[in-house]
Amino acid sequence: MADSLMAGKSTPAGIDGNARAAGGASWIIAGTAMVLVLLAPAIWNGFPIIFPDTGGYLIAAMTGTPMLGRSALYGLFLVAGIPFAFWPCVILQCALVAWLFIVTLRVNRLGGRPWLALGIVALTAVTTSLPWFAGQLMPDILFAAAVLALYLLAFAQERLARWERYALAAAIAITVPSHMAAAALCVAVIAALWLLSFIKRLALPTPRLSIAAAAVVAGIALSLVSNMALIGKFGFTPGGSSFLFGRLLEDGIIEQYLDDKCPDPSLRICAYQDEIPELADDWLWGEGTAFYKLGSWDGYAEEQARIIRDTLWLYPLEHLTTAIVATLGQVTSFETEVSIHDNGPTFQAFADLAPDLVAPLMNARQQSGRLDAAPLNPTLYVPVGALAVVAIAAALLFRRRLNLTPETAALCFTLLLALLANAAICGIFSHPVDRYQSRLVLLAPFVVAILAAQRMRRPLKTGIAS
């Protein structure tokens, strides 16, 4: 109201300038506080949070060695942070998240309020795994960033400055080569939004997908070029079919196939039939497993692909059933994990490639077991995430009664679509792992916070929702 009155009056230049300066100062203070809030677990740890996979990214970038499922380009990003103990890497990740939250609030008519933005970021950081991912030396936080960027480009282009559109496209293009599951997620969300735009009963704004699609294409090209430059291989990050093979093994399809086919001189794996573990992780990461005796992701690629094709032809019902079960299992698995006992591969990579950082790494609280998110799962992260997803679905169902704006309804829809797509991609082509879904579920409470803030400003519509 005050803003409307002021808009109709002449305001002295000095007063207007002072107001802008005060507003700019507020945003600087609030923005800095947002980054610090998101960095809190890493700061408390005394070192950016690591994961067993972190070392693989460093190895790929620094030695030019192709690593199973590890992006050399993201590894290069980490390498750039070595002189400063990786702190610039996690600061940039936190700043990206804070900016995306601010822009998302603005396009949902909650902009220009730095303290509201800070409050929502802080609330999300307290109730979700957001700061654990943002402060971790892993590309996982980019999954959430890409979903928000896709939403903003698809449904809010007219509310964005040109530089913001370019920045969002760049965020997507960088996310795509950071992880092949992220690439698949971006493609799936864009394709689904395009197909679902023809269903008029959804009553959603028509998505504008050209910039987002171009960003994904640019990201795919960047994947190919960066791998050629860094590891001498013009192709995608290696190992995609190996993860699928591991899931088929875990679901019993490979065992059934080998029981039906072995002994068979054309199948090298028959010689190791009795050594094959039951779990995908044991097959892929266990020392001295048949997977490595057969040549790992590279040397065993041809026979592995042949077996996958054969099982699709021989056992289509089993494939369909296990794919559905894997997707449902991934949808409901989203506990937050901070690795404490399995970081040996990363320790070794630091010792070989960044020896000056071994001491601060080993002195961090994470290595002594004093940094653990597990106790927060049953009491906070899991129930809050589950309730938030249900609340978003309910908000869409009753959006007319709740008087949701079109852009907010589109945000709810995009997030639910991304959660389902991510569950299918990760569950089917790898296997259900809590971390895969928790890196996206963290957006659900943020969206609920937007709904709540809007509800405080806008009355409900009377009548029965339809």
- Cβ distance 338 to 372 under 8 Å? yes
258 and 344, same structural domain? no
Tokens representing 229 are 């430059």
SS (H, E, C) 160-217: CCHHHHHHHHHHHHHHHHHCHHHHHHHHHHHHHHHHHCCCHHHCCCCCCCHHHHHHHH
Considering the chain, what is the average pLDDT of its residues? 91
Tokens representing 367 are 């290595």
What does the pLDDT read at residue 309?
95
Tell me whether residue 266 is in a domain.
Answer: yes
126 and 43, same structural domain? yes
Tell me whether residue 202 is in a domain.
Answer: yes
Q: How many domains does the chain have?
A: 2
248 and 196, same structural domain? no
Q: What is the pTM of this model?
A: 0.91
What does the pLDDT read at residue 24?
80
What does the pLDDT read at residue 391?
97
277 and 357, same structural domain? no
CA distance 303 to 294: 10
What does the pLDDT read at residue 148?
98
Task: Report how far apart the first and last C-alpha atoms of the chain are (Å, whole number).
Answer: 32
Pick the last residue of a domain from 260, 279, 294. 294
Tell me whether residue 180 is in a domain.
Answer: yes
Range(s) of the domain holding residue 199: 17-237+340-376
230 and 269, same structural domain? no
358 and 263, same structural domain? no
219 and 165, same structural domain? yes
In DSSP terms, 70 is beta-bridged to: 67
- Cβ distance 390 to 444 under 8 Å? no
187 and 248, same structural domain? no
Tell me whether residue 38 is in a domain.
Answer: yes
Tell me whether residue 354 is in a domain.
Answer: yes
pLDDT beneath 50: ranges in the chain: 1-11, 462-466
What does the pLDDT read at residue 104?
98
123 and 74, same structural domain? yes
Tell me whether residue 95 is in a domain.
Answer: yes
350 and 269, same structural domain? no
Residues 417-446: pLDDT tens digits? 999 999 999 999 999 999 999 999 999 999
Backbone angles phi, psi at 177, to 5 degrees: -80, -5
Tell me whether residue 464 is in a domain.
Answer: no
Per-residue buried b or exposed e for 164-192, using 16+ beta carbons within 10 Å of the residue's own CB = bbebbbebbbbbbbbbbbbbbbbbbbbeb
145 and 53, same structural domain? yes
Tell me whether residue 4 is in a domain.
Answer: no
186 and 149, same structural domain? yes
